[in-house]
Amino acid sequence: MIFMNKKDSASISIMKIIGVSLIFILIFGVSVMATEIDIRSVEITMKNGYKMTVVTTKTNVAEILADNNIVIEEDERVSPDLDEQITEKNKIVITNKSEQEVQIAKISESGIETTLDEILKSYSPIIEKIVVEQENIPYETITKDASQGSTDTKNKVIQQGEDGIKEVTYKIKYQNDEEIERTKLSEQVIKEPVNKIVQVQQNVTSRGGTITRDTSSGTTKIFKVTAYCSCAKCCGKATGYTASGTKATAGRTVAASSQFAFGTKLIINGKEYVVEDRGGAVTGNKIDIYMNSHAEALAWGVKYLPVEVGQ
């Protein structure tokens, strides 16, 4: 049996107190260190939707990603940005950049001096519109040579030209309120053009000076040309016979004033007709062309055409 004296017992007690104190100091120091370092869990969401949680003492986004061997590609975007600190939510999200952001990045890297507004302007939406526009149809000039080979000639306009009108439907693309593309879809003639007719005539010298003589087969003038049929609305009767006693025939019969005798041949717009009828409203420079039906007569309407007296 071993007996300890009072001195040895007191020494052991002091050692125990010192040991406990050291352990307490160590635990307290570790706690203080942990509090100052601020260890946190951060959730990282990859662009494919995969999520991972990492433990870190850092707050800079770029440093956290680098510690976890995560490399950001050119077509990827990080939120918050790489040079920013993570927020209280402790989340980092990686997504794909839009095509617009990729192009802007390439332009910036190339060193081209431009503004963000100018870059964004190139990526503004394209708007398509269907537009109907009226356009002129240019008339043609037709020349008739009635000079009979003479070298001394003069031009005479026997019909003035007039442009026609057509409606054209376009599909137009606009960007930034500017037209960038135009495609014709259809067109419709609203008014036919009237050709200009010029007649080349021989100059004939007389004692009184120089005069112009029409050496064509007859005199050509512009007449108001309408149409009629044999119905009661047009003629007041429906017999079908003309004032000259002939049977009215479409493509041949015309009604004219008494300045033209029955049987006179008139060339209207290049086609030959015969004066076989009269009419109370057919006076002066007016001619009525006979049609087979009232509908055809209405469809003809009113036209101003060159009329040449045939032989």
Within the chain, what is the greatest distance between any pair of CA atoms?
Answer: 179
Q: Which residues contact 265 (CB under 8 A, 6 or more apart)?
A: 272, 273, 274, 275, 309, 310, 311
DSSP labels, 50-63: -EEEEEES--BHHH
Q: Which residues pair with 226 in a beta bridge?
A: 288
Reported as a single tens digit per residue, the pLDDT across 7-63 is 555 566 667 666 666 666 666 554 544 445 678 889 999 988 888 998 888 889 999
| C-alpha distances in Å from residue 291, one per residue of 132, 234, 247, 276 | 36, 11, 12, 14
pLDDT of residue 212: 42
Residue 161 near residue 194 (C-beta atoms within 8 A): yes
The SS3 call for residue 78 is strand
* 140-169 pLDDT per residue, tens: 888 877 776 777 788 888 788 888 999 999
Given this model, what pLDDT does residue 209 score? 43
Per-residue pLDDT tens digits of the chain, which is 311 residues long: 444 555 555 566 667 666 666 666 666 554 544 445 678 889 999 988 888 998 888 889 999 899 998 888 888 889 888 899 988 888 999 988 765 565 556 555 555 555 555 655 656 788 999 999 999 999 888 887 777 677 778 888 878 888 899 999 999 999 888 888 999 999 999 888 988 888 887 765 544 444 344 444 456 788 889 999 988 788 777 778 888 888 989 999 999 988 888 889 999 888 899 999 988 888 888 999 999 988 898 988 888 888 888 76
d(CA 250, CA 234): 15
Could you tell me the two tokens for 215? 């050496």
What was the pLDDT predicted at 172? Answer: 93
Supply the pLDDT for residue 21.
66
pLDDT of residue 254: 93
Q: Cα separation of 112 and 106, whole Å?
A: 10
* pLDDT on residue 2: 47
d(CA 285, CA 257): 8
Candidates 132, 129, 128, 139; CA nearest to 187 is 132
The C-alpha atoms of residue 55 and residue 60 are separated, in whole angstroms, by 13
Structural domains in the chain, sorted by start = 126-140+149-194 (2.20.230.10), 217-309 (2.40.40.10)
Altogether, the residues listed in the chain come to a count of 311
d(CA 100, CA 79): 18
Torsion of CA 253, 256, 259, 260, to 10 degrees: -10
